[in-house]
Each structure stands twice: as C-alpha cells, then as structure tokens.
C-alpha cells in the first residue's frame, strides 16, 4: 500500500513539474512576443494570379512550357542558382528523349575525380548526375553576389506562399519605387546594391533583374520571349522541380476518392441489411 502511494506521489510531482514548465515556457514566450520590437510593415503586393495548365484537380503539365522554362533557367538563372535536387535523367519527364538527355548532360561540367591522380577535377555530366552548382562553395557565391548567397531553386516554389505565382511576379516586378511610397515609407528606398521589387516582403532585394529585356532567350518552338512569358515559363519549370509527381498525385486521388465513396455507400447498405430485423425499443 505504501509503495503504491509512493508511486502515485511521484507521478503527481512529475505531472506538476511538467505543468509548471509548460506554463513558464508559455509566459516567457508571451512576454517576449509582447515586448519584441516589430519591424515596420512595408506594403508589399500579393503575387499576381496567373493561370497555369497544372492548376486545379484536373491540371496537367504543359511539356512545351516546361521545356521553355528549362531554357530560361539554363541560359539565365543557372549563372547564379543551383538545382541540386534535380538529376539530368529527370528531364526525360519533360518529353526529352534518352539521347537528348545524354547530350544535355554531356554539355555540362560536373565535379569528378581523376582516376589517374585521384585529384578533384571537372568532367562531362552523365544522366545520373545532378545539376551542378555555379559556385564551388558558399564563400565564393557570397563574394560574387554582394554577400548574398543565391538560394537553390529546386524547392523554391514549395518554400514560398503561392510559390509559382510568387516566382513569376517577382521576376516581372522590378521597378523604381513610387514617390508616394518613399514619402510614406522612407525606409523602402533601395540601398547600395539593392533593387526595388513590390512583390518582395522587404521591397528590396540583392538580386539584380535577371529578365531585363524581351528576347533574352530564343525559344525553340518560336514562342515570343517577352519578360512575362519567360517569367511564367521558368516559374512553371520550378514548380515541376519542386514537385514532379504533382500531376500523378492528382490523377491518383480521383480513383481513391471514388473508391472511398463506393466503400462508404456499401458499408451503409450492409449496416441497413444487418440491422433490418432488429426493432428499436419503444
């Protein structure tokens, strides 16, 4: 009996200890939130609402657009940004043949090891290789970009709210701040090495406008390469890199929902059949 009481007493003490710790953490968090200096809110704009072929439950990839987006990334974005989670062989999903994938990979230089000396070297890429980084390390990346390390773009559209529209809007949004904005928010003036963009939460970012002129990229399918078109195409491509199985997931979801609906109806009818002979008590 005494042993049982001791166990209960220890349990009560431990429970009280956890409750006190939780209340203390809540109180400290509430105090910090109440006393923290909040940065002034800058009136950035929400991303534009752009229609894409993969939108909605029945959406599908537009392979022509994804190929155009790859071209924009390859000729513009890859100078600063990596795609470290994307392998060259994944490009077959965009409609490229095996030979085209091999040729694309071979045109890229990737880190390798010299089999004769064992030293690090560069070699032509293979389909199994991943997109190489444009910089050897973070220090070199920061030194080449005003101390701002360009982020990897593999998952960018998943890392930002309304990611596809955000990326496209950001690329189209470079402009000079208005006089009204600067009058109301002087802190919104871009500093040295910064560029104003109303879709960026801080309104100013270190990345120079990557898409500055129409025709910067020549599309193989003859599509006119306006800034809007290039922005939307590369945003669509980065949506694919972030979630290449998105369309398959949507296509799989419909049979699953139909099966669950059928199973629910079947279970209801079975329940009615099983309990049909049982009369409720009055």
Matching residue, tokens 């109303």: 198
34, HSE (Cβ side, Cα atoms, 13 Å):
6
Ligand-binding annotation for 80, yes or no, is yes
Ligand-binding annotation for 1, yes or no, is no
Among 103, 223, 231, 229, smallest CA distance to 169 is for 231
CB 204 within 8 A of CB 191: yes
d(CA 164, CA 3): 63
CB 81 within 8 A of CB 134: yes
CB 129 within 8 A of CB 88: yes
Greatest alpha-carbon pair distance for the chain in Å reads 92
Task: Please work out, in degrees rounded to the nearest 5, the angle formed at the alpha carbon of residue 106 by the alpha carbons of 102 and 67.
Answer: 60
Ligand-binding annotation for 63, yes or no, is no
Ligand-binding annotation for 230, yes or no, is no
Phi and psi at residue 73, to the nearest 5°: -60, -45
CB 236 within 8 A of CB 52: yes
Among 39, 91, 46, 38, smallest CA distance to 66 is for 91
Residue 27: how many other CB atoms lie within 10 Å: 10
d(CA 187, CA 261): 56
Residue ranges at the known binding site: 77, 80-81, 207
Residue ranges at the known binding site for heme c: 77, 80-81, 207
């Amino acid at each position: 009996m005494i042993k049982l009481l001791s166990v209960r007493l220890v349990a009560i003490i431990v429970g009280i200890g956890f409750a006190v710790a939780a209340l203390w953490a809540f109180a400290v968090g509430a105090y910090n939130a109440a006393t923290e200096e909040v940065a002034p809110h800058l009136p950035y704009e929400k991303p534009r609402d752009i229609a894409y072929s993969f939108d909605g439950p029945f959406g599908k990839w537009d392979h022509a657009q994804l190929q155009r987006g790859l071209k924009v990334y390859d000729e513009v974005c890859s100078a600063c940004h990596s795609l470290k989670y994307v392998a060259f062989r994944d490009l077959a999903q965009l409609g490229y043949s095996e030979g085209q994938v091999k040729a694309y990979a071979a045109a890229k230089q990737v880190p390798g090891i010299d089999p004769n000396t064992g030293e690090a070297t560069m070699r032509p890429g293979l389909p199994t290789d991943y997109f190489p980084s444009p910089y050897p390390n973070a220090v070199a990346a920061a030194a080449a970009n005003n101390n701002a390390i360009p982020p990897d773009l593999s998952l960018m559209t998943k890392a930002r709210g309304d990611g596809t529209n955000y990326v496209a809007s950001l690329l189209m949004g470079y402009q000079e701040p208005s006089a009204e904005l600067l009058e109301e928010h002087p802190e919104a003036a871009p500093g040295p090495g910064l560029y104003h963009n109303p879709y960026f939460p801080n309104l100013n970012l270190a990345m120079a406008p990557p898409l500055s002129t129409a025709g910067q990229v020549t599309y193989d399918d003859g599509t006119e390469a306006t800034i809007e078109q290039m922005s939307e195409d590369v945003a669509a491509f980065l949506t694919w890199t972030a979630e290449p199985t998105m369309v398959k997931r949507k296509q799989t979801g419909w049979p699953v929902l139909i099966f669950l609906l059928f199973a629910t109806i079947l279970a209801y009818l079975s329940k009615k059949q099983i309990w049909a002979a049982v009369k409720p008590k009055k």
